[in-house]
Structure 1
Amino acid sequence: MSYDYCVIGGGIVGLATAMQLLERRPGASVVLLEKEGRLAAHQTGHNSGVIHAGVYYAPGSLKAELCRAGAAATKAFCRDNDIPFRTCGKLIVATNAAELERMGALEERARRNGIELTRLDRAGLAEAEPEIEGLGALHVPASAIVDYKRVAAAFGERIRASGGEIRLASPVTAIRETARGIEVDTDRTTINARMLVACAGLQSDRLARLAGLPITHRIVPFRGEYFVLDKKHEGRIRHLIYPVPDPALPFLGIHLTLMIDGSVTVGPNAVLGLSREREAKWSADLADLGAMAGFPGFWRMAQRNWRTGATEFLNSIWRRGYLDQCRKYYPPLELADLKPYPAGVRAQAVEADGRMVDDFLMLESARMLHVCNAPSPAATSALPIAARIVDRIEAKRADLG
């Protein structure tokens, strides 16, 4: 049970990392551990399926750079592996004067990021999307849609074809770093590896603590609730329809998403989760609740964002409020058009001072690298994120000799 590399986490970032380790070092022994019985069981399998262009991110930031590179790399991988994707484009719609003003700043940011886009006035928006209401919009033609579960499955196939090993239903129970390597206990066996990468998503803080790394943050789960629209709406919308983000709010807001199967979803909202991994509404985990309650950063975050949290909670229990968020730019929607759709849980790293971590957060030791926060657009950016991780872990290996 001895390997060159051990990767923990069968989401899209962990899979991309294992795949690229094997590409960099053909013949290396790599094992990937996933505690669930399938790959992409949590965040990867419950996102909106968008290949983002990178409009929202600060010019020159790592997120902006990785998103642009990731969009190109994801599309290329899909072409090479016969995975269907559709470049449908995105409309970021302003519905009032304040949003129109913020849209101008967003346009400038996108152009500084080198993203192709066109500004539409009310008439141009009506021509592009006759049923969408707004004062104007930004048209981002490069935005696309894909099924990330299929992408993750293809990563897994590439890993196995390159000689890597994937172990499902293998929860990690202990991690020990020694001068000679890393020992990883699962509920079945002990694995020895020279180097370890942990991409554990919703459990990333717990894995880092298990490995003895000093952490100041905790993962706080936010539940994103979606609806799928009645089939009569399929084909009536040609683009992804997004709101102009409010910089004062921590999350983007509800949007209309074309899915690769032809359906249209609306969402997500952002409701505090009662469990890290149980997606069903009102499903709670006492250990997760206790961990949040005992973390001062959670209460500081809640104090700062209580108005937004209250609104999100109200819209979660009152579908009419949720509907109103959609109807401001898509008036044809009725309450009966909102059909049940699986929710997803997002891992949000929160620091002890209550600050939500908005960028990538990695913790390291001599033989380990833990990805503790991989925010949106992590799915889009998985391949270049993995390349950076592999760069770091290979540098560590070289330092060790």
Structure 2
Amino acid sequence: MSERNHYHIAIIGGGILGCSIAYLLSYNLRPGTRILLVEQETSAGFHASSRNTGKVHAPFLYDPSKRKLFAKSASIGFEMLAQYCHSRHLPFINDGVLEVATSENGIAHLDRYIEWGYSNGLSQHELRYLDKQQVAALEPNVRCTGAIHCTKDASVNYGEITRSLLVDAQNLGCEVMFETKVLSLVSAEHSYFDHGFEGLHQDSIQQQHPKFQLKLLRKRTFSETTSPADVRPGSLPDINVQTNVTHSPADCQRLSLVDLSADYLINVAGGAALNLAHGMGLAKGYAALHFRGEYWVAPSSFRDLTRMSVYSVPRYPEYPFLDPHWVVRIDGSREVGPNAVLVSGPFAYNWNQNMRLILPKILQSIRDTGRVGLFSLFTDKKFVTLTLHEFRSSLSKRVMINRARRFLPALDPSQFTKRGTSGIRSSLVNPDGKFVSDIFIVGNEDSVHMLNYNSPGATGALPVAALIVDRIVKQDRFRPLARSYSGEKVGSARDLGPVSKWDIHHIGDLLLERTGH
């Protein structure tokens, strides 16, 4: 294999975490370190990083004893995102949020959230309890028993942030392949093959000196300048919609195979990350479930209903089913959502296709992998009941909007006529059939795999990236750039943004301070 096709580090996944890692890696390693980011879509941040509420979350919802890394990363990430957006002239609106209880039972949850918020670094000025009279004075159209008002909660466009991070990484030397899918991945001990590509000839790959050999499937007509507005999920033929398809000869003519090698692998492929990890022999007892969050866009007549977003206390916090919120977006629009509809995969946006595939996918996963935990979860009556209820909210606009009417009674389902942009989050299930509550990373000295990274993942992407990059830099195998954190990278006259002031070692230490890692 030619030196041209060899990279020191390969990053799989161009979401906000992958692009944050690329940005920090490219800055903290010496020029000449070859870093490649592989993304299957036509742009960065195509899926969950652009398909979310757009909120920079304050860490009051995260139990510091169970969601330690999520809580700490959200706390640190808020300030880092604000700095980055300011440096890149991206909108960052600190608009606050209300978390409401609609019954007396919810008040105890609010008390607990306040305790968590203070433990996670919020001040009494940033987080306070309001009774229903105080809520009415702040937001007259909200009805509740009590609420938390958090002033440290912001709105952004995570898609724009993700694409900006990648541009910065490229300007620092990171290489990018868009419209490129990992077809196979072979290490000295293990191998991964995407079995959705039986129609393509696969040559055997011999393990040589590099730790990883990758075979990539790349669209020949790929463009690095395609606007996200011009494309849609699934634009790469049959690659990111289904995993059990055979490509036609016409499709194969539009695709090419690329062989490359890498010394270090960073797997941040979102909902597809677990399959790669399994291929490497990691996290074998774990399974992933995928939930599509759907939204309804509020008509302009409801634009002034509230000034800030309104969330309600989840009735079943042990499951990934949050009641729909009233979301105030960065552009001033309002939406109701998301629900959490169980879907067949990380790219299952098509409703009809999902209904056809969901049950076979679940049964196949249980049967082929022997995952006792997944079987245990689907024999949990409460989980099954909640899953069916979420399907109802997907089928019925009225059911969906009425869930938000519990705290915003002025909403009229008949006036909602436009669906918002849905997004899919992936949740990891452990061998006992329980959802993993915190960030979950596995790996070894040659690779790192992010397997559980949902909300507030976008908020905490920069500090989590700093933690991962710090671990790589500490290995001293990729020639870290020795310098203080008060100046720009040697030889660069370009504005690098706040990365020149971020001490990844200190950020990594802060993240792990309370976790006992």
TM range (shorter): over 0.9
Is residue 185 of structure 2 the alignment partner of residue 185 of structure 1? no
Which residue is 2:252 aligned to? none
Task: Tell me, in whole angstroms, the C-alpha distance in 1 between the residues paired with 2:64 and 2:142.
Answer: 29
Give the aligned partner of residue 136 of structure 2: 126
Counterpart residue number, 1:44: 49
Asked whether the 8 Å contact 1:11–1:43 carries over to 2, the reply is yes
Q: What SS does the corresponding residue of 1:44 show, helix, strand or coil?
A: coil
Is 1:72 the equivalent of 2:79? yes
**Aligned-pair CA distance for 1:248:** 4.6
Do the aligned partners of residues 2 and 347 (structure 1) sit closer, same or farther apart at CA in structure 2, a change above 3 Å counting? same
1:277 offset after TM fit, Å?
0.2
1:381 maps to which residue?
A: 460
1:222–1:272 Cα contact (<8 Å) kept: yes
Aligned-residue sequence identity (percent) comes to 29
**Which position in structure 1 is the counterpart of 2:228?**
none
Matches within 5 A, 1:203-222: 203-222=272-291
Q: Which runs of 5+ in 2 are unaligned?
A: 189-208, 218-256, 481-517
Q: Matches of 1:132 and 1:50 in 2, distance apart?
A: 20
Q: Residue type of the partner of 2:449? A: H
CA RMSD between the two structures: 2.1
Paired residues of 1:213 and 1:363 also in contact (CA < 8 A): yes
Work out whether residues 26 and 162 of structure 1, in 8 Å CA contact, stay in contact via their aligned partners in 2: no
Paired letter, 2:138: A
Aligned residue identity for 2:394: S
SS in 2 for 1:329: coil
Structure 1 residue 274: deviation in Å? 2.9
2:21 paired residue number: 17
379, 387, 409: which one aligns with 1:303: 379
Instruction: Show the counterpart of 1:112.
Output: 119
**Structure 1: which amino acid aligns with 2:185?**
I
Question: How much does 1:400 deviate?
Answer: 12
Instruction: Please point out which of 43, 51, 56 is paired with 2:61.
Output: 56
Aligned to 2:227: none
* Corresponding residue of 2:509: none
Contact 1:70 1:381 in 2 (8 A): yes
Summarize deviations over 1:255-314 as a string: whole Å, max 9, x none. 111111110111111111133203132333977754421324333222221121122122
Measured after TM superposition, the shift of residue 47 of structure 1 is: 0.9
1:321 aligns with 2:399: yes
In structure 2, what is the equivalent of residue 92 of structure 1?
99
Rounded to whole Å, the distance in 2 between the matches of 1:196 and 1:363 is 12
Residue of structure 2 equivalent to 1:271: 341
Aligned to 1:393: 472
Write the distance in 2 (CA, Å) between the matches of 1:35 and 1:287: 22
For residues 81 and 217 of structure 1, the distance between their equivalents in structure 2, rounded to whole angstroms, comes to 39
Aligned residue type for 2:324: I
Deviation at 1:366, TM superposition (A): 2.9
**SS of equivalent to 1:389:** helix
Matched, 1:33 2:38: yes
CA contact (8 A) 1:95 1:134 kept: yes
Taking the aligned partners of 1:399 and 1:84, their CA distance within structure 2 comes to 35
The one-letter code matched in structure 1 to 2:375 is: W
2-structure distance, mates of 1:134, 1:265:
19
Residue 55 of structure 1 contacts residue 106 of structure 1 at CA under 8 Å; is this kept in 2? yes
Of 244, 267, 286, the residue aligned with 2:313 is: 244
Q: Which runs of 5+ in 1 are unaligned?
A: none
Contact 1:50 1:146 in 2 (8 A): yes
Equivalent of 1:282 in 347, 352, 360:
352
- What is aligned with 1:202? 271
Picking from 2, 8, 14, the partner of 2:6 is 2
Partner AA of 1:389 in structure 2: I
Which of 138, 149, 152 is residue 142 of structure 1 equivalent to? Answer: 152
The more displaced of 153-162 and 246-255 is: 246-255
One-letter amino acid of the counterpart of residue 244, structure 1: V
- Whether the 8 Å CA contact 2:9–2:34 is kept in 1: the answer is yes
Partner residue of 1:333 out of 411, 434, 438 = 411
Letter in 1 for 2:432: D
**Which residue number in structure 2 is paired with residue 355 of structure 1?**
434
CA distance in 2, matches of 1:74, 1:337: 36
1:328-359 per-residue CA deviation (whole Å, 9 max, x = no partner) reads 10011111232311211111111233111111
The whole-number CA distance in structure 2 between the counterparts of 1:313 and 1:291 is 17
Instruction: Measure, in 2, the Cα distance between the counterparts of 1:189 and 1:214.
Output: 28
Residue 343 of structure 1: aligned partner: 422
Contact 2:73–2:463 (Cα < 8 Å) also in 1: yes
AA matched with 1:151: I
- My pick for the range that moved more, 374-383 or 313-322, is 313-322
Shift of 1:152: 0.5
Larger Rg: 2
Q: Is the Cα contact below 8 Å between 1:19 and 1:155 reproduced in 2? A: yes
Q: Is the 8 A contact 1:203 1:219 kept in 2?
A: no
In 1, are the aligned partners of 2:10 and 2:37 still within 8 Å (CA)? Answer: yes
Contact between 1:367 and 1:396, CA under 8 Å: does it hold in 2? no
- 80-89 or 268-277, larger mean C-alpha shift: 268-277
2:304 is aligned, of 235, 244, 263, to 235
SS at match of 2:53: coil
CA drift of 1:180 comes to 3.5
Q: TM-score, normalised by structure 1?
A: 0.94
Hey, what's the Cα distance between the residues in 1 that align with 2:271 and 2:186?
21
In the superposition, relative to structure 1, how do residues 285 and 245 fare at CA in structure 2: closer, same or farther (>3 Å)?
closer
Instruction: State the secondary structure of the residue aligned to 1:223.
Output: strand
